[in-house]
Amino acid sequence: MSDLSKLTISAARDGMRRGDFTSTEITQSCLTEIENARFLNAFVHNTPEIALDQANTADTRIAEGDAPDMCGIPLGIKDLFCTKGVPSQAASAILNGFKPEYESTITSQLWTAGAVMLGKLNMDEFAMGSSNETSTYGDVVNPWRRDGSNTQLTPGGSSGGSASAVAADLCLGATGTDTGGSIRQPAAFVGITGMKPTYGRCSRWGIVAFASSLDQAGPMTKSVRDAAILLGAMAGHDPKDSTSAELAVPDFEAALTGDIKGKKIGLPKEYRMDGMPGEIEKLWADGAEMMRDAGAELVDISLPHTKYALPAYYVVAPAEASSNLARYDGVRFGHRAALSQGDGITEMYEKTRAEGFGDEVKRRVMIGTYVLSAGFYDAYYNRARKVRTLIKKDFEDVFAQGIDAILTPATPSAAFGLGEMTDADPVQMYLNDVFTVTVNLAGLPGIAVPAGVDNQGLPLALQLIGRPWEEADLLNHAYALEQAAGFVAKPEKWW
Amino acid sequence: MLDLTYDAPKPKIIAGAKQDWELVIGLEVHAQVATNAKLFSGASTLFGAEPNSNVAFVDAGMPGMLPVINEECVAQAVRTGLGLKADINLYSAFDRKNYFYPDLPPGYQISQLYHPIVGEGEVLVDMAPGIARVVRIERIHLEQDAGKSIHDMDPTMSFVDLNRTGVALMEIVSRPDIRGPEEAAAYVSKLRQIMRYLGTCDGNMQNGNLRADVNVSICQPGAYERYQETQDFSHLGTRCEIKNMNSLRFIQQAIDVEAKRQIAIVEGGGEVVQETRLYDPDKGETRSMRSKEEAHDYRYFPDPDLLPLEIEQSWVDDIASGLPELPDEKRLRFMEEFGLSEYDASVLTADVANAAYFEEVAQAGDGKLAANWVINELFGRLKKDDDKDITDSPVSPGQLRDIIALITKGDISGKIAKDLFEIVYTEGGNPAEIVDARGMRQVTDTGAIEAAVDEIIAANPAQVEKAKANPKLAGWFVGQVMKATGGKANPKAVNEIVAKKLGS
B241 in a domain, yes or no?
Answer: no
Whether residue B79 is found in the same domain as residue B194: yes
Angle at A454 between CA A453 and CA A456, to 5 degrees: 110
Is A210 among the domain residues?
A: yes
Residues near B40 by beta carbon (within 8 Å), at least 6 away in sequence: B58, B67, B68, B69, B70, B110, B144, B166
Note the pLDDT of residue B458.
86
Mean pLDDT value across residues B358-366: 89
Q: What is the mean pLDDT of residues A322-334?
A: 97
Contact of A82 with chain B, judged by CB distance below 8 Å, is answered with yes
Is A182 considered catalytic here? yes
Instruction: Indicate whether B133 and B22 sit together in one domain.
Output: yes
| C-beta of residue B96 within 8 angstroms of C-beta of residue B141 | no
Residue numbers in B near A101 (CB within 8 A): 57, 62
Q: Specify if A340 maps to a domain.
A: no
Domain of residue A178, CATH code: 3.90.1300.10
- Pick from B66, B299, B307: which is nearest to A240 by CB? B66
Last residue of a domain, one of B437, B457, B473: B437
Q: Is A468 helix (H, G, I), strand (E, B) or coil?
A: coil
Is A345 in contact with B102 (Cβ distance < 8 A)?
yes
Q: Tell me the mean pLDDT in the region A52-66.
A: 96
Residues B284-316: tens digit of each pLDDT: 999 998 765 667 899 999 999 999 999 999 999
Same structural domain, B166 and B40: yes
For residue A425, the model assigns a pLDDT of 83
State the DSSP string of A320-338: HHHHHGGG-SSSSSS----
- Does B105 reach chain A within 8 Å, measured CB to CB? yes
Catalytic choice (A5, A6, A29, A78):
A78
Instruction: Note whether residue B238 is domain-resident.
Output: no
Is there a contact between A323 and B299 if contact means CB atoms under 8 Å apart? yes
| B residues 219..278 contacting A (CB < 8 A) | none
B297 vs A373: CB contact, 8 Å cut-off?
yes
Which residues from A are below 8 Å from B305, CB to CB?
Answer: 209, 212, 242-243
Asked if A188 contacts A159 with a C-beta cutoff of 8 angstroms, the reply is no
Question: CA nearest A295: which of A476, A102, A48, A75?
Answer: A476
Indicate the pTM of the whole model: 0.91
Confirm whether A281 is domain-assigned. no
Quick: pLDDT tens for A98-150. 999 999 999 999 999 999 999 999 999 999 999 999 999 999 999 999 999 99
Catalytic residue at A158? yes
Residue-range definition of the domain harbouring residue B422: 325-437
For residue B1, is pLDDT > 60? Answer: no
Residue B415, pLDDT > 90, answer no
Residues B178, B79 within the same domain? yes
Which phi and psi angles does B455 have, rounded to 5°? -60, -45
The residue that leads in pLDDT, B375 or A426, is B375
pLDDT category of residue A275 using cuts at 50, 70 and 90: confident
| A-B Cβ pairs (cutoff 8 Å, strict) | 100
Does the CA dihedral A311-A315-A321-A322 come out positive or negative? positive
- What is the predicted pLDDT for the residue at B493? 81
Asked if residue A465 belongs to a domain, the reply is yes
For the segment A218-235, the average pLDDT, to the nearest whole number, is 98
pLDDT for A157: 95
pLDDT above 90 covers what percent of chain B? 78
Closest-CA residue of chain B to A80: B64
One domain for residues B37 and B103: yes
Residue A479, φ and ψ in degrees, nearest 5: -65, -45
Q: What is the CATH number of the domain that holds B467?
A: 1.10.10
What lies within 8 Å, CB to CB, of A159 at 6+ separation is A78, A121, A123, A127, A174, A176, A177, A178, A182, A183, A186, A187, A194, A220
Average pLDDT over residues A358-377: 96
Q: Is residue B245 part of a domain?
A: no
Q: Is A344 in the B-facing interface, judged by CB distances under 8 Å? A: no
Inter-chain residue contact A319 with B301, CB threshold 8 Å: yes
The mean pLDDT value of chain A amounts to 97
State whether A209 and B299 contact (CB < 8 Å): no
Examine the domain organization and report whether B37 and B67 are in the same domain.
yes
User: β-pairing, A405-409 with A459-466?
Assistant: antiparallel
Residues B179 and B278 in one domain: yes
Total domains, chain B:
3
Q: Which residues of A254-270 are buried (b: 16+ CB within 10 A; e: fewer)?
A: ebbeeebeebbbbbbeb
C-beta atoms of B63 and A100 within 8 A: yes
Closest-CA distance of chain A to residue B105, Å: 6
> Residue B3: pLDDT above 90?
no
Which listed residue (A88, A131, A182, A244) is catalytic?
A182
| Res B47 pLDDT > 90 | no
Does B173 share its domain with B214? yes
Note whether B455 and B381 are same-domain residues. no
Residues B207-227 pLDDT 10s: 999 999 999 999 999 999 999
**Of the candidates B69, B96, B158, which has its C-beta nearest A323's C-beta?**
B96
* CA-wise closest residue to A443 among A104, A50, A178: A178
Nearest neighbour of A241 by CB, restricted to B66, B102, B108? B66
Whether residue B207 is found in the same domain as residue B144: yes
Would an 8 Å CB–CB cutoff place B208 in contact with chain A?
no
Q: Is A374 within 8 Å of chain B by CB?
A: yes
Please name the residues between 306 and 335 in chain B that touch chain A, using a CB distance below 8 Å: 306-307
Q: Is residue B240 part of a domain?
A: no
When scoring A84, A242, A320 by the number of chain B Cβ atoms within 10 A, the one with the most, hence best to mutate, is A242
Tell me the per-residue pLDDT of B270-284, one tens digit each, with 9 for 90 and over: 999 999 999 999 999
Write down the pLDDT at residue B293: 60
Instruction: Flag whether B379 is in a domain.
Output: yes
User: Cβ of A326 and B108 within 8 Å?
Assistant: yes
User: What confidence category does residue A2 fall into, taking pLDDT thresholds of 50, 70 and 90?
Assistant: low
pLDDT in tens, A446-465: 999 999 999 999 999 999 99
Indicate yes or no: CB of A332 within 8 angstroms of CB of B66.
no
Check whether residue B475 and residue B454 sit in a common domain. Answer: yes
Per cent of chain B over pLDDT 70 is 98
Let me know if residue A385 belongs to a domain.
no
Is the domain of B270 the same as that of B367? no
Q: Which of B304, B320, B336 is the last residue of a domain?
A: B320
Strand intervals (E) in B33-120: 91-92, 95-98, 108-111
Residue A296 in domain: no
A158, A164, A223, A244: which one is catalytic? A158
Check residue A318 and give its pLDDT. Answer: 98
Structurally, how many domains does chain A consist of?
1
3-state helix, strand, coil in chain A (%, to 5): 40, 15, 45
B64–A319 CB contact, under 8 Å: no
Of the three residues B415, B437, B459, the one that is the final residue of a domain is: B437
A322–B299: do the CB atoms touch at under 8 Å? yes
pLDDT, residue B157, reads 87
pLDDT tens, position by position, A181-219: 999 999 999 999 999 999 999 999 999 999 999 999 999
Q: Does B100 lie at the interface with A, CB-CB under 8 angstroms?
A: yes
CB burial string B273-304: b at 16+ within 10 A, e below: eebebebeeeeeebeeeeeeeeeeebbbbbbb
CB B23 within 8 A of CB B216: yes
Range of the domain at A434: 2-259+414-485
Q: Name the residue facing A82 among B64, B108, B306 (closest C-beta).
A: B64
Is A207 in CB contact (< 8 Å) with chain B? yes
Q: Is residue B390 assigned to a domain?
A: yes
| Whether A82 and B63 lie within 8 Å, measured CB to CB | yes
Q: Output the DSSP codes for A244-294.
A: S---PPP-TGGG-----TT-EEEEEGGGS-TT--HHHHHHHHHHHHHHHHT
pLDDT in tens, B472-502: 888 888 888 888 887 778 777 888 888 888 8
Question: Considering chain B, what is the average pLDDT of its residues?
Answer: 93
Residue B362 has pLDDT above 80, yes or no: yes
